[in-house]
Amino acid sequence: MTQTNLTHLQRLEAEAMHIMREVVAQAENPVMLYSVGKDSACMLHLAKKAFYPSPPPFPLLHVDTTWKFKAMYAMRETAARDAGMQLLVHQNPDALRQGINPFDHGGLHTDMWKTEGLKQALDLHGFDAAFGGARRDEEKSRAKERIFSFRTASHRWDPKSQRPELWRNYNAHKTKGESMRVFPLSNWTELDIWQYIHLENIEIVPLYYAAARPTVERDGMLLMVDDDRFPLRDGEEPVMRSVRFRTLGCYPLTGAVESEAKTLPEIIQEMLLTTTSERQGRAIDHDQAASMEKKKQEGYF
Amino acid sequence: MSEIYKTDTLIAEDIDKYLEIHQHKTMLRFITCGSVDDGKSTLIGRLLFDSKMIFEDQLATLEADSKRSGTQGEEIDFALLVDGLAAEREQGITIDVAYRFFATEKRKFIVADTPGHEQYTRNMVTGASTADLAVILIDARKGVLTQTRRHSYLAHLVGIKNIVLAVNKMDLIDYDQGKYDAIVADYRAFAQSIGITEFTAIPISGLAGDNITTRSANTPWHDGPVLLEHLETVELNQTVEQDKPFRMAVQWVNRPNLDFRGFSGTIATGTVKVGDDVRVLPSGKTSRIARIVTMDGDLSEAVAGQAVTLCLADEIDCSRGQLLCAAQSPVEVADQFEATVIWMDEVEMTPGRAYWLKLGPQTVSATVAQPKYQVNVNTMEQLAAKTLDLNAIGVANITVDRDIPFAPYTDSRDLGGFILIDKMTNRTVGAGLIHFSLRRAQNIHRQATDISREHHAELKNQAPMVLWMTGLSGSGKSTIANLVEKKLARMNRHTFLLDGDNVRHGLNKDLGFTDADRVENIRRVGEVARLMTDAGLIVITAFISPFRSERDMVRGMMQPGEFIEVFVDTPLEEAEKRDVKGLYAKARAGELKNFTGIDSPYEPPEAPQIRIDTTKMSAEEAAELIVAKLIP
C-alpha cells in the first residue's frame, strides 16, 4: 500500500475540524467568537470545512468595542453572510454609556469593552462553549492553556487546576453556569496561519496588505488615524505612509509596520525576515510579563 | 546552523519556492522530559533560538527577566522562555505542559515541554499522549536517576516508540567517551527491563550547543546522528497507522437536508476507499462507502489522521460513538476490560463507584474494580493496592454499562485510550489504556425468562418501585420506612423493606465503612432492589447512602421513573442530640472511624422527589405524606 504523508497543515486542519465537531456534539449552545482578524478568518474557514455540506451549526459573536477599524466592520458582515451563519454583535452598554475609549481610559478600555463585554454576551445568550482563535505560540501563558479550557460560572480561568487533556479525547462535561473556551488553532503558528490563508485563498481584511494610510507616530508606535475620533496632540499631523498591520484590534491600540508587502507571499516573506514578534504591535501586553495570564484569569479570552 | 541560514537566503530570494517547500513539510510532535536541573528548558530554548523562533522583542524581555530572576548570572536563562505561568517563574520549576513550535527545512515540530516532578505526572502524561517521540534528558554528571526511569516508563507506557536518550552537559565531563558509554550501557539495561527495545543515544550540550543542530568537534567518537537531524528523519507514527485496518469513530452525523446523511469523524487507523465494505459497531450492520465528502470535493480515498465525512450506500442506523470498520476485520466489542489506569485527581479512586468513561466519542458509565496491583513508578515494582491516589498507576478491571467497540491501546491510541470523568465534579480524574477484554464478559449471556417483569407486576396489581430513603444516621429513616411499609401492607401492596443494619448482618457482613466498602454496600443493595422490582415488589430501603454518585448509580439500575429518592432531612446537631444508638458519642470519642457527618461526608440530594423535614413533622406525618405521594 502506498503511504500518504499528510503535511503539517493537513494535520493541523484535521485537528481543528475534529475539535470543532467534538464541541458541537458535546455542548448545548456553542458560539464562535469572531474578531474579524486573520485568525478568525482562518477559524471560520475551518468551521465551514468541518461541517460541510451543512453550514456551521452555531452563530458568530463579535464582541465589539466601537473602536475597530472601519475595514473590519465591512468585512464582518460579508463573512457571516457568505458562511450562512448568524452574526451576533455585542457592545457593553455600560462602556457605551460612559464613553469608554482607548485615549482617555487606558487599561479600563480593554477591561470594559472586551473582558466585561465578552462575559456579558456569553451570559446573555447562555453560551456554554465559545470557540476562540488564540494560538499557543502567541504568548507564554497561552502556551500552557488546554485546547478545551474550563471556566467557572464567573468566567475565571484557574491555571493551576487545568483538566488533563489526553490524546484527542476532550472532556466537555460541566455543570450549569460553567463554560468552556475552546481553541481549535492552539497548535498553529503565525506562519501556519498565513500559509493556510495563502493556500486556501481565504479572504482577509485589506489592512493586512500594505497601502498608503494616514498615520501618526506616538509612543514608539505607528497609529493609523482611521476616523475623526482620533485626538491629535500638539504638533501631530497625519502622514501618509505605506503601512500594514500584522495583527488587528482597536485602531488606536494597534501599531502598524512600514511595509511594501502587497501580496500574501510578500507578507510571509516580511514576517519570516522580521525580528519582532506579532504581539509587539499590541499595547495590551506591554504592562508586565504576566499580564496576559492575569487578564485571562479574569475572563479575557 | 547552516541549514537555517540557507533557509534565510531562500526566503529573501525566492519566497514562492520557500512556501512550496514549507507546504510539504511533515510534522513531528515530541516531548522532552528530565528533572529540574537536567537542562531541559535550556535545550528547548536552544532549539527555538537556533531555528530563529525567538524574536528581538522576546529576546529583550528574556534578557531583562534573566537579569532579574534567572539562574545563569549574566547569561540568558532560556528556561525563562518556556516557564510561562507566574507560579512557575516564582518557584523556578515547570508545573504544566508548555507547547512550543519550530520548523526546519524538512519538518515542523511541536514540542511539549513536560514537568519532571513526580507530583506533576498527570501533566507529563498529557504531553506524552500526543507525542511521536520522547527526548529523555540525562545530566552526564549524574547518570541514570530515579526520574530517568520514571520518565522512560511513562513514555513507554503511553506508547511512544521513538526514544532519544540525550546525555546532556557533556561539556561538564570534558566530553569523556568512557563516561558516556557507561551511562548508555546503564540505560540500555534498564530500558530492556521495561520493554524498550530500541533507543537513540546522543551526547549533547544544550548550553554549548554540541550535537544539537550541528555535529560537534568535541565528540569525534560519536557516530550516531545529531539531535535535530534525528528529529527530522525519524519515521512518523502516522504512516505506521495507515498500514492498519480501517477504523473511524463517528463524531457527528451530518444531516443538512433529507437527501444527505454523512458520518463525520477522524480516521483512527487505516485507509478507506469509495466502494469499501464497512461494518458499523456495536450493531454489526454492514454497508458500503458511497462517498468521501470534503468541502474541497469528494475524495476517492482517505487515510488515518484525516477528518472526513463518509456517506454509506444503505440507510443503516448509525450515530455518534459508533465505529465504522473494515467489514472483514472489525474490532472487538465488550463491556469488561483489563486496563492500566493512571489516576489524576486529588481525590483517590473509589473502586466500584460509577464514573463516566470517555473513549473517543463514546461516553458510557463505568466502574473500576479494586486494582490488581499498583506500579511503583520509580522502581517498577508491583505493589498491592486498595485504591489509586493522585499520579498512581495500576492495573484494574473496568466494567461499563453497555457493549462498546474498542482496540487494545497498543493497536490504537484512539480506540484503546480512555479518560474517566467524575460524575459530580466533571473533572477528568483518570486515564486508562485498554489491554484486553475479559473472557467472562464474552461468555456470560442473559437468559431470557418467560414470565416477564410486567407479568409479575400485573399479578400483584401494582407498579413496582424503589423508595430510597437517605439521610444521616439517627435521622429517622428506619422508623419512617417501617411506618410506610405498614401503611402499604394495610392497602394490600406487596412490599419489602431493606434496612441498612439488617443487610450488614448478612449479605454485606464482609464490608466495613471505608468509602470503597460503602460504595459496594450500596451497589449490592441496588442490585437486590432491582431484582425485587423485577419480581413486581415495592421496595423500601433505609440506608445512609451518603454519596450522590452511588444514589445516582442505583437510579441508573432501575427502570425510568421507578426510583423515588426520599431525603430524610435531619440536621447533624439534631441527629447527634437524638443519638438513639449512642453512635455519635462513640464517633466523637474517636472510637468509631469513618462515621458519616463526623469524619466522613454526607452529600445531600440536590433534587429529591420527596423531602422530609423531621424537625417540622413527626414520623407518622412523614409516612402519611410519602404514601399519599406514592398512591394518590
* Environment class of B294 (CB within 10 Å of its CB; exposed 0-12, middle 13-18, buried 19+): middle
Question: Which amino acid type is present at position B197?
Answer: T
- For residue B78, the number of C-alpha atoms closer than 13 Å in the C-beta half-sphere is 22
Residues A49 and A170 reside in one and the same domain: yes
CB atoms within 10 A of CB A108: 15
pLDDT over 50 at A243, yes or no: yes
CATH number for the domain harbouring residue A126: 3.40.50.620
pLDDT over 60 at B323, yes or no: yes
Domain-located, residue A16: yes
Q: Which pLDDT value is given to residue B512? A: 82
Domain-located, residue B448: no
**In this predicted model, what pLDDT tens digit does every residue of B90-137 receive, in sequence order?**
555 566 778 888 888 788 899 888 777 777 788 888 889 999 999 999
Residues A142 and A274 reside in one and the same domain: no
- For residue B269, the cross-strand partners are B247
What is the grid cell recorded at B627?
A: 404514601
- Chain A residues whose CB is inside 8 A of the B111 CB are none
Task: Return d(Cα B629, Cα B71) in angstroms, integer.
Answer: 71
Residues B24 and B145 reside in one and the same domain: yes
Domain-located, residue A200: no
Q: Which pLDDT value is given to residue A232? A: 83
Closest CA to B411 of B330, B356, B306, B328: B330
Domain-located, residue B446: no
Task: Return d(Cα B430, Cα B355) in angstroms, integer.
Answer: 10
Domain-located, residue B30: yes
Domain-located, residue A88: yes
Residues A49 and A188 reside in one and the same domain: yes
Task: Return d(Cα B632, Cα B626) in angstroms, integer.
Answer: 10
Residues B142 and B50 reside in one and the same domain: yes
A164 near B CB under 8 A: yes
Residues A128 and A214 reside in one and the same domain: no
Task: Return d(Cα B169, Cα B141) in angstroms, integer.
Answer: 8
Residues B261 and B128 reside in one and the same domain: no
A269 near B CB under 8 A: yes
Task: Return d(Cα B242, Cα B6) in angstroms, integer.
Answer: 34
CATH number for the domain harbouring residue B568: 3.40.50.300
Residues B132 and B163 reside in one and the same domain: yes
Separation in Å, CA of B405 to nearest CA in chain A? 16
Q: Which pLDDT value is given to residue B214? A: 85
Residues A132 and A217 reside in one and the same domain: no
**In this predicted model, what pLDDT tens digit does every residue of B209-230 receive, in sequence order?**
889 888 889 999 999 899 999 9
Q: What's the whole-number mean pLDDT along residues A179-184?
A: 92
Task: Return d(Cα B58, Cα A279) in angstroms, integer.
Answer: 10
Domain around B571: 455-630
Choice between A153 and B337, residue whose per-residue pLDDT is larger: B337
Chain B contacts in chain A segment 30-69 (CB below 8 A): 48-55
Task: Return d(Cα B342, Cα A124) in angstroms, integer.
Answer: 39
Choice between B41 and B532, residue whose per-residue pLDDT is larger: B532
Closest CA to A49 of B170, B85, B612, B254: B254
Task: Return d(Cα B473, Cα B492) in angstroms, integer.
Answer: 30
Which of B238, B243, B358 lies closest to A1 in CB terms? Answer: B243
What is the grid cell recorded at B463?
A: 407498579
User: Which of the listed residues B305, B326, B347 is the one where a domain comes to its end?
Assistant: B326
ipTM value of the model? 0.87
Q: Do B426 and A289 touch (CB under 8 A)?
A: no
What is the grid cell recorded at B26?
A: 511533515
Task: Return d(Cα B460, Cα A4) in angstroms, integer.
Answer: 66
Q: Do A191 and B103 touch (CB under 8 A)?
A: yes
**In this predicted model, what pLDDT tens digit does every residue of A81-105 receive, in sequence order?**
999 999 999 988 888 888 888 777 7
Number of domains comprising chain B: 4
Domain-located, residue B14: yes
Residues A101 and A187 reside in one and the same domain: yes
Q: How confident is the model at residue B53 (pLDDT cuts 50, 70, 90)?
A: low
How far from chain centre, in Å, is Cα A111? Answer: 16
CATH number for the domain harbouring residue B301: 2.40.30.10
User: Which of the listed residues B235, B250, B266 is the one where a domain comes to its end?
Assistant: B235
Residues B270 and B197 reside in one and the same domain: no
Domain-located, residue B450: no
Closest CA to B130 of B34, B30, B42, B262: B30
Contacts of B529 (CB under 8 A, 6+ apart): B466, B498, B539, B541, B554, B557, B558
Domain-located, residue B460: yes
Q: Do A293 and B305 touch (CB under 8 A)?
A: no
**In this predicted model, what pLDDT tens digit does every residue of A118-147 receive, in sequence order?**
888 888 998 999 999 989 887 777 777 889
Residues B228 and B353 reside in one and the same domain: no
Q: How confident is the model at residue B309 (pLDDT cuts 50, 70, 90)?
A: very high
Please, are residues B606 and B565 in contact by the beta-carbon 8 Å criterion?
Answer: no
Residues B245 and B217 reside in one and the same domain: no
Please, are residues B120 and B377 in contact by the beta-carbon 8 Å criterion?
Answer: no
Separation in Å, CA of A162 to nearest CA in chain B? 9
Domain-located, residue B404: yes
Residues A117 and A20 reside in one and the same domain: yes
Number of domains comprising chain A: 2
Please, are residues A170 and A148 in contact by the beta-carbon 8 Å criterion?
Answer: yes
Domain-located, residue A198: no
pLDDT over 70 at A297, yes or no: no
Q: Is the dihedral of CA B217, B218, B223, B224 positive or negative?
A: negative
Domain-located, residue A1: no
Question: Which amino acid type is present at position A226?
Answer: D
Residues B257 and B369 reside in one and the same domain: no
Residues B108 and B137 reside in one and the same domain: yes
Residues B528 and B599 reside in one and the same domain: yes
What is the grid cell recorded at A115?
A: 473582558
User: Which of the listed residues B235, B252, B275 is the one where a domain comes to its end?
Assistant: B235
Which of A17, A166, A195 lies closest to B419 in CB terms? Answer: A166
The whole-model pTM stands at 0.78
Q: Between the CA of residue B602 and those of B465, B471, B494, B549, what are the distances in Å?
A: 25, 8, 31, 12
Q: Do A18 and B266 touch (CB under 8 A)?
A: yes
Q: How confident is the model at residue A288 (pLDDT cuts 50, 70, 90)?
A: very low
Domain-located, residue A151: yes
Domain-located, residue A34: yes
What percentage of residues in chain A have a pLDDT greater than 90? 37
Domain-located, residue A81: yes
Domain-located, residue B116: yes
- Rounded to a whole number of angstroms, the CA Rg of chain B reads 31
Work out the mean pLDDT of chain B and round it to a whole number: 86
Which residue in chain B is spatially nearest to A22 when comparing CA positions?
B251
- The residue assigned the cell 453550514 is A55
**In this predicted model, what pLDDT tens digit does every residue of B407-419 receive, in sequence order?**
999 989 999 999 9
- Chain B residues whose CB is inside 8 A of the A139 CB are 84
Residues A141 and A32 reside in one and the same domain: yes
Domain around A53: 8-192+290-297
Residues B222 and B99 reside in one and the same domain: yes
pLDDT over 70 at A295, yes or no: no
Residues B163 and B37 reside in one and the same domain: yes
pLDDT over 70 at A218, yes or no: yes
